[in-house]
Amino acid sequence: MYLLCTISVEKLSYCMTASCLNNRPAANVQDKQCGGGNTVEMETYITIAIGLLTVVLGTQCADNTWGGLYPRESESREVRSLDGLWNFRLAPLEDPEKGFREEWYAQPLRKTGAVISMPVPSSYNDVTQDKALRDHIGWAWYDRTFYVPTRWQEDKQRVVLRLGSAHYNSIIYLNGVAVTSHEGGHLPIMSEITSGLVYGQENLVTVAINNTLTPETIPQGSITYHDDLTRYPPGYFTQSYNFDFTNYAGLHRPVYVYTTPRTYIEDIFVTTDISGTDGIISYDIITATTKIGPKRLNDAPGCSMKVLDKDGSHVTSAIGCQGSIMISNASLWWPYLMSEDPGYLYTLKVAVSDTEGILDVYPQKVGIRTIGWNSTTLTINNKPVYLRGCGKHEDADIRGKGVDYPLIVKDFSLLKWLGANSFRTSHYPYAEEIMDMADQEGIMVVDECPAIGLSGFGETLMNKHISVMEELVHRDRNRPSVIMWSVGNEPRSDQAAAKDYFRLVVAATRAADATRPVTKVVAATKAEDSSRPVTCVLNRPKYKEYAGSSLDIILVNRYYSWYSDTGHLEIIKLQTVTEFTEWHELHNKPVMISEYGAGSMPGLHTDPAFTWSEEYQAELMLQNFEAFDELRKKGYFIGEMIWNFADFATPQEYNRPGACMKGLFTRARQPKLAGHLMRVHYWSLAQKIDNVTVPEGVGRLGSVYNWKNL
Ligand code: GCB
């Protein structure tokens, strides 16, 4: 756990981009931590931060690996959105540390130079016509002003600033003072700002954000300095990374200021179990009192809670900060199409009180369900599940990876239209607003961290990887939709160092998902006490692969007849059946295909099917479906996820037209032939496996599939 310490003025020396470009010394990145600093020798090609910067931190020690409970209004809490148009400026490529040297955070950005308006949440890359903004590498600066009422001060409220994410490294300032910093682009950042605010007057929040990826960031990337002055201008550098999606940057998720009382509910951890028709909710509530200002507490706080059903009616109550509640005849959380009422959520209205009465209240959603697994099967509520899903991306035009409510609703609507019951958060944790929808709609999620295409497997990387998994588990552990953790996608796990590396990362993930003092009711017999299976999406040859032995469930990506034997659709069935049979035999664990597919240009038609046509994509799917049907009969093949839900943006390259075209839907979310085909396939599976009635209209658009299945 990294803690930002009580220091008045701390110099963090970061070397990055252009200043390192020109003289390129081996530079140090110093991470000031509570309990000792950590110095990383940087290779010349590495770039992390930029320039020499002075960070003035506040007076408290902030845990910057825990983004706090999602800001929700309650009887005791107020939430204010800081979304909207912020002021924005890029640091110059050739002088990346300029903003720190000139202290752009000390006054409104518009006073230190030109600014443009930048929407939050959104990626900054695609919102203008400016190529420099689209392709920027290094620091970018955001700021805006806001007011908080004097009432908050009079009422002795604790005030918190929370950013859903900031990609990738960020430093956050309030009224010119750095209040926290965060590494990692996909998880929340929070800072208590009670004492740094001016009440009833204008406050300034500034965020410096850096999208540079290095061999020791997660995900990894590298900067290449092009030295040949006959071919490149002086100081020329480019960034590359081991993944195909655009490394969008910016404030991608909502920014909030919210209040809690000075004694407040800091954290809630729930697990659930079922016993006959009863549901059991085990809970652990952590209370805290801010160190700032007078304490109101007379005694140690006590906890109590009410359980409300989906309609808000009172079901039962309980007292105590730890314990279990039994709900007779509970409505269970079921995945979509496995129940008439999928995604059933209770609300736990948690309260913390002292002798004078209730201090703080937080509404925590809870879905009652169990997850089980053995060597062949994954179960929800003791019923085997077959995952019918998609790999996805947070991606859309203009906004890039910015949270967009219409897009969220559209995507869930399309998943349900397909008859899908699951997706993977490929290849990073998705916004909490998306995860809320998954909980509520009953869509199962394989929750993945940003470790894509990892190689190297050194200790520094591993510690960071573990820290990201802990952050992710901490954020999402109460979510019923999360049925599996994925510690990464396609690591270079044929490197021998991967063995210990993944053993330790997986063990840390299991431990993070199990830290609870209450009587364990869930998965008490599972190794290392995890309540969910842990996986990693593999793609190396199975007999020379070192991560699989540490996993609970084997997920494998295979692109037969696309990246191998291109054009030879007829080999898919044989190769796929052989491949997954062998993975199961090797590890004696459930297996599933987590990616397969082909690119198609919408509107390109060929008969017979030819690569890049819509027909080729559809024919490739049909061949895969036949293989999956055969594998399913073997009893250990637990799911299929196509790559990808929708076309998504990629960097400029010669083998892709600006996007990965493997979507069932276009980037604008219109179905390709593949989308219509998948709809028939998934509904047909839902009918066979979950006994659902196929809705009117499925397959209406022609005999793209084997109708006798319906
Ligand atoms: C993969 C990756 C995914 C890519 C996909 C492709 O194996 O996991 O991120 O987009 O291949 O289309 O190449």
**Judgement on whether residues 198 and 327 belong to the same structural domain of the protein:** no
User: Would residue 411 count as lying in a domain?
Assistant: no
Q: Which two tokens stand for residue 457?
A: 């497997």
Q: What is the C-alpha to C-alpha distance for residues 118 and 251, in angstroms, rounded to an integer?
A: 10
Atom 12 of ligand 1, nearest CA residue: 660
Whether residue 298 sits in one domain with residue 255:
no
State if residue 244 touches ligand 1 by the CB under 6 angstroms criterion.
yes
Q: What total of structural domains would you count in the chain?
A: 2
Given phi > 0 = left and psi -120 to 50 = alpha, else beta, which region is 338? alpha
Ligand 1 neighbourhood includes 490 CB (under 6 angstroms): yes
Instruction: Specify the pLDDT at position 51.
Output: 31
Q: Is residue 627 part of a domain?
A: no
Give the number of the atom of ligand 1 that is nearest the alpha carbon of residue 648.
10
CATH number, domain containing residue 84: 2.60.120.260
Both 96 and 191 in one domain: the answer is: yes
The residues annotated with a catalytic role in the active site are 490
Is residue 552, in this structure, part of any structural domain at all?
no
CA of 508 to the centre of ligand 1 (A): 27
Phi, psi of 347 (to 5 degrees): -115, 125
Q: State how far the Cα of 564 lies from the Cα of 574, in Å rounded to an integer.
A: 14
Q: How far apart are CA 26 and CA 458, in angstroms?
A: 19
- What is the strand order of the sheet 302-308 is part of? 314-319, 302-308, 346-354, 357-366
What are the tokens at 115? 């600014």
Closest by alpha carbon to 328, among 315, 319, 340?
Answer: 315
For ligand 1, atom 13, the nearest C-alpha belongs to 244
Q: Which residue from 536, 557, 653 has its CB within 8 A of the most atoms of ligand 1, so it is best to mutate?
A: 557
Atom of ligand 1 nearest to the CA of 597: 12
Closest ligand 1 atom number to CA of residue 489: 8
Do 161 and 282 have their domain in common? no
Residues sharing a CB contact under 8 Å with residue 520, sequence separation 6 or more, in sequence order: 271, 282, 514, 529
Q: What is the pLDDT of residue 530?
A: 81
Look-up of token digits 């191998």: 564
What is the distance in A from the centroid of ligand 1 to the CA of 244? 7
**Residue where a domain stops, chosen among 228, 259, 290:** 259
Contact between residue 253 and residue 432 where contact means Cβ atoms under 8 Å apart: yes
Q: Is residue 339 part of a domain?
A: yes
* Ligand 1, pocket-test mutation among 660, 661, 664, 667, most atoms within 8 A of CB: 660
125 and 97 share a domain? Answer: yes
Query: Tokens in use for 252?
Result: 């991608």
In the prediction, which pLDDT does 9 show? Answer: 25
> Could you tell me if 191 and 75 lie in one domain?
yes
User: Is the beta carbon of 643 within 6 A of some atom in ligand 1?
Assistant: yes
pLDDT in tens, 580-618: 999 999 999 999 999 999 999 999 999 999 999 999 999
pLDDT of the residue at 702? 53
Tell me, yes or no, whether 71 and 203 share the same domain: yes
Tokens of 553: 């469930």
Q: How far apart are CA 489 and CA 181, in angstroms?
A: 27
Model pLDDT, residue 18: 30
93 within a domain of the structure (yes/no): yes
For residue 427, cis peptide bond before it (omega within 30 degrees of 0): yes
260 CB less than 6 Å from ligand 1?
A: no
User: Around 651, how many Cα atoms within 13 Å sit in the side-chain half-sphere?
Assistant: 12
Residue ending a domain, choose from 212, 233, 259: 259
| Domain finish residue from 320, 344, 366 | 366
Domain contains 524: no
C-alpha torsion sign, points 59, 12, 451, 601: positive
- Residue of the nearest CA to atom 4 in ligand 1? 244
The pTM of the full predicted model, rounded to 2 decimals, is 0.91
Q: Are residues 253 and 299 in the same domain?
A: no
Q: From the CB of residue 528, how many other CB atoms can be counted at a distance below 10 Å?
A: 14
241, 540, 595: which to mutate for ligand 1, most atoms within 8 A of CB? 595
> Is residue 88 located within the same domain as residue 175?
yes
d(CA 374, CA 533): 10
Q: Mean pLDDT, consecutive 10-residue segments, the chain of 710 residues?
A: 28 32 27 28 32 32 71 98 98 94 98 98 98 97 98 96 97 98 97 97 98 96 95 94 96 98 95 96 93 56 95 97 96 98 98 91 98 97 98 98 98 98 98 98 98 96 96 96 97 96 96 60 48 96 96 98 98 98 98 98 98 98 97 98 98 94 98 96 95 87 52
SS3 81: strand
CB distance 489 to ligand 1 below 6 Å: yes
**CB neighbours of residue 575 within 10 Å:** 17
662 touches ligand 1 (CB under 6 Å): yes
Same domain, 77 and 136: yes
Q: Are 95 and 197 contained in the same domain? A: yes
Q: How far does residue 494's CA lie from ligand 1's centre (Å)?
A: 18
Contact yes or no for 276/238 (Cβ under 8 A): no
Is residue 76 one of the residues assigned to a domain?
yes
Q: What are phi and psi of 219, to 5 degrees?
A: -75, 165
Burial (Cβ within 10 Å: 0-12, 13-18, ≥19) of residue 687: middle
Q: Which atom of ligand 1 is found nearest the CA of 426?
A: 9
Residue 287 belongs to what domain range?
A: 261-366
107 and 255 in one domain?
Answer: yes
* Contact (Cβ atoms closer than 8 angstroms) between residue 392 and residue 444: no
CATH number of residue 302's parent domain = 2.60.40.10
Is 316 within the bounds of a domain?
Answer: yes
The CB of 183 under 6 Å from ligand 1? The reply is no
User: Ligand 1 within 6 A of 395 CB?
Assistant: no
